[in-house]
Structure 1
Amino acid sequence: MERQELSDILQQNGIVGAGGAGFPTYGKLDERAETIILNCAECEPLLRLHRQLLEKHAGEIVETFHMIGETLGAKDVVIGIKEAYKETIEALNQVVADYKNVRLGLLEEVYPAGDEVVLIYEVTGKVIRPGVLPIESGIAVFNVETVYNIYRALHNEPVIEKLVSVVAEVENPITVKVPIGTSLEEVVKMAGKTTVNNPVYFVGGPMMGSIGSKFQPVTKTTNGILVLPQDHLLVQKKNSNSSIDLKRAAACCCNCSMCTDLCPRNRLGHPIEPHKFMQAATCKDVQNPDIFVNTYFCSSCGLCEMFSCFQGLSPRTLMTEYKGKLRGRGVPMPKVEAKGVGPEREFRKVPMERLMARLDLTKYDKEAPLKEEVPDTKRVKILMSQHIGAPAIPRVTKGDKVKKGDVVGAMGKGLSVNIHASIDGTICEVNDKYVMIEA
């Protein structure tokens, strides 16, 4: 298939990264890509949907990923997967032998093995220059569910459903496939009763997720819902006040450098040093502005504040706030080179088992079987912006009848994709931000 043809199919069918920020996938179809990597590290604790999907649909996903490699002329097609995912690896071994340039890149059970920069280093040995996209080094990374969505798009099926793991304080942890736009409350009900009063919905992974509302709709990037008690560590951390966090850091930070020593990007030579930032920010010391500007290179993995700091301080949260202020004032990201990777990196990886214990999540580490039957949904709220780039533009009016797969939001100017109806029904509300459909 020609690259432009594939690009058009992905854009028309609304394919974006099925996790993270939702980068429109057609933008990754770059002829400079000599290596493509399928990311099945799934390093966020408790989430299982990628390994489950890859195990069940190994043939379709590997075939599609190989096709993407051929379209781009990639010489190396790598499936990055943790060696602990035995059943998925067994399923992959049944099909990868049919494709000469496809290989498995086995990963350790550490966090954050799924961080794009870390994953690339582990399976290729290349260090991505700080602050740039992997394509500069001839590499493109794709999410497992994204590639499965590409497979479906090739069979004229746009993105109208999403896999979501529902775990923690629920009766029956499960991974479900739901229409995009379904409320979080409806999705959680599919896992049975909640086992705590006044539960908090923690959307995404425990390390990089955020607290959501029960009325919030599922989007193309919603991977998981952790149902947690209000007094859980993760909830308390997310509800903390940044001004208080800064005062606590001024009083407690001993500048031990543990946050920097265990920082995955720092271990790969990127100039991000949380301990120096904490000292400079709390003392209002601006003699070395690079300390503040280098917060741009933080990946927000959360290890510094959720694992490394024995004082329970919040380097990631404070650096994220500073990054936002820098962007708001038009401060550009500096152009720098990565330093060498030291031998100590091998001894500063964080085991998943230890991380889950630190986060008080071990008791929730249970099977969440994949259920692919899509439930009937009475109402969906479909956001026009579910991806990085320009939002889609509503192409329906109140009272219109639509069927599953109809375009309800046309791609905007620039980097954008179409948005589709996820159920059959009637448009009951439309504005620039969302379209509401009643079955």
Structure 2
Amino acid sequence: MDIKELSSILQEKGVVGAGGAGFPTYAKLSEKAETIILNCAECEPLLRLHQQLLKKYAKEIVDTFHLIGETVGAKEIIIGIKKHYKDTIKALNDVLGAYPNVRLGLLDEVYPAGDEVVLIYEVTGKVVRPGGLPIESGVAVFNVETVYNAYRALSGQGPVTEKYVSVVAEVEQPITVKVPLGTTLDEVVAMAGGVTTKNPVYFVGGPMMGNIGVGSQPVTKTTNAILVLPEDHYLVERKRSNSSIDLKRAAASCCNCSMCTDLCPRNRLGHPIEPHLFMRAATFKDVQDPNIFLNTYFCCSCGLCELYSCFQGLSPRTLMTEYKGQLKANGVPMPQVTPKPVGPEREYRKVPMKRLMARLDLVKYNKDAPLDEKEQGVKAVKILLSQHIGAPAKAIVKVGDKVKKGQLIAEPGKGLSVGIHATISGTVGTVDDRFITIQG
């Protein structure tokens, strides 16, 4: 199989990054990829679906990943996985004998090991240029569920119509379920036996980089987890903070200790992101060195600075994200910089996941969330036409049409885009440029 054929299949079947921002997978296929990495680092606390999926479908996923490597001509095929995922590692070792050019890249249990720039350095020693793409360093990274979806597409089992979602924290039975895309968050949470707290708040995506969602919100191709938290939980209060108040608090109490910079994973890789300097410049409106503001482009929004490093509970990540958004809105270009050499101190400034969970008051929620793949009886879905980076898909069905699960209902838009498919069989109820609803 050549790259063009593989790309066509992945685009048609709607395969995108099943986490993160949803980058269309076909666009990552390149002959420049000397190394491809399977990301099984499970970046966020409490998430388990990638290790669960890789353990159960080790042969299928490794075989597909090996095929991708052969197709792009990669010289090195690496599975990045945390050392303590022992059951998954055993499942991999049972099949890796048939793939001599595939190796494991073992990772420590630290945060954010799943950040692709951090992952690439850990398993290859390469530093991705600040603001650059991994392919510039000859690397392409794919997560586990993405490759599993590629396996299903290539084996004729169908396009992407379902999503694995971990439902954890304040629920009766923490669980990882497989649900049709477009299922509401409320319905998914109900599959975990319901909530165990008053006025629950849904944290979608993960405790560090996720956002607060609402019950009517539909599951998309990038919905990895739903954390059900009490309304007064530390993470909820931080997420609901007001940025103008955050700035005033920083002006009043930031002592510029530099802890946020010292523990910044991108700074430790030589990227010119220095949150403590930004906090000082922003709070005093000091624009003598504009690079301090321009370098906010290089923040990966991992959240360590404000949720772990700062002992005064300030919000560097939130404020830098706001400034970065203003720079983009005003057409200010990202600066071109060269990273500094990685210093030996980096090894001693990694954040252990156990300590992070303790800081976030999540230890009590660190329970098994077993994988349950039984078909869920969802009666209606709301399928977004933009579940990926790039142009939204364009609807090719109309109200009243009868559709079957797996049928193409929106074709790829112009440019970077993928197809969208019916996730249940039924009747099309609504069609506009944002979503399509189907009544089962």
Report the TM-score range of the alignment, normalised by the length of the smaller protein: over 0.9
Give the TM-score normalised by the residue count of structure 2: 0.99
Match status 1:91 vs 2:91: yes
How big is the shift at 1:155? 2.1
Summarize deviations over 1:163-203 as a string: whole Å, max 9, x none. Answer: 00000000000000000000000000000021001100000
Counterparts of 1:66-105 in structure 2 under 5 Å?
Answer: 66-105=66-105
Secondary structure (helix, strand or coil) at the match of 1:276 reads helix
1:57 corresponding residue in structure 2: 57
Q: Secondary structure at the match of 2:166?
A: strand
- Once residues 409 and 358 of structure 1 are traced to their aligned partners in structure 2, the CA distance between those partners, rounded to angstroms, is 44
For residue 143 of structure 1, what is the aligned residue in structure 2? 143
- Over the residues paired in the alignment, what is the CA RMSD in angstroms? 0.4
Moved over 2 A (4+): none
The match for 1:224 is 225
Tell me the distance in 2 between the aligned counterparts of 1:258 and 1:277.
13
Which residue identity lines up with residue 198 of structure 1 in the other structure? Answer: N
Unaligned runs of 5+ in 1: none
Per the TM alignment, residue 321 of structure 1 is displaced from its structure 2 partner at its CA by 0.3
Q: Secondary structure at the match of 1:71?
A: helix
Q: What letter corresponds to residue 53 of structure 1 in structure 2?
A: L
> Distance between the aligned counterparts of 2:12 and 2:137, measured in 1?
28
Is 2:284 aligned against 1:283? yes
**SS of structure 2 residue aligned to 1:429:** strand
Tell me which residue corresponds to 1:153. Answer: 153
**1:382 matched residue in structure 2:** 383
In the alignment, the residues of structure 1 paired with residue 84 and residue 284 of structure 2 have an alpha-carbon distance, to the nearest angstrom, of 44
State the distance in 1 between where 2:392 and 2:30 align.
Answer: 22
Distance 2:273 2:280 in 1: 14
| Aligned residue in 2 for 1:248 | 249
CA distance in 2, matches of 1:43, 1:13: 26
Name 1:198's counterpart in structure 2. 199
2:163 is paired with a residue whose SS is strand
Q: Does 150-159 or 220-229 show the bigger shift?
A: 150-159
Corresponding residue number in structure 2 for 1:5: 5
The Cα of 1:388 is off from its aligned counterpart by: 0.3
Query: CA-to-partner distance for each residue in 1:258-308, whole Å, 9 max, x for gaps?
Result: 000000000000000000000000000000000000000000000000000
Q: Provide the C-alpha distance between the structure 1 equivalents of 2:58 and 2:341, rounded to a whole number of angstroms.
A: 37
Aligned residue in 2 for 1:111: 111
Hey, what does 2:326 align to over in structure 1?
Answer: 325
* Aligned-pair identity (%): 74
Q: Does 1:212 align with 2:213?
A: yes
* Match of residue 403 from structure 2: 402
Equivalent residue, structure 2, for 1:366: 367
Please state how far the C-alpha of 1:67 moved relative to its aligned partner: 0.3
Aligned to 1:177: 178
Q: CA–CA distance in 1 between the matches of 2:414 and 2:69?
A: 28
Give the TM-score, by structure 1 length: 1.00
- Give SS of 1:382's match: strand
AA aligned opposite 2:384: L
Match of 1:392 in 2: 393
1:264 is paired with a residue whose SS is: coil
CA distance in 2, matches of 1:84, 1:250: 42
The one-letter code of the counterpart of 1:347 is: Y
In structure 2, the residue matched to 1:133 is 133
Mapped partners of 1:435, 1:43: distance in 2: 32
- Identify unmatched segments of 5+ residues in structure 2: none
Q: Secondary structure at the match of 1:346?
A: helix
Aligned to 1:225, the other structure's residue is in SS state: strand
Letter in 2 for 1:423: I
1:17 and 1:131 map into 2 onto residues whose CA distance is 19
CA distance in structure 2 between the aligned counterparts of 1:122 and 1:96, rounded to whole angstroms: 21
Structure 2: distance between partners of 1:247 and 1:393: 45
d(CA) in 1 for partners of 2:359, 2:85? 22
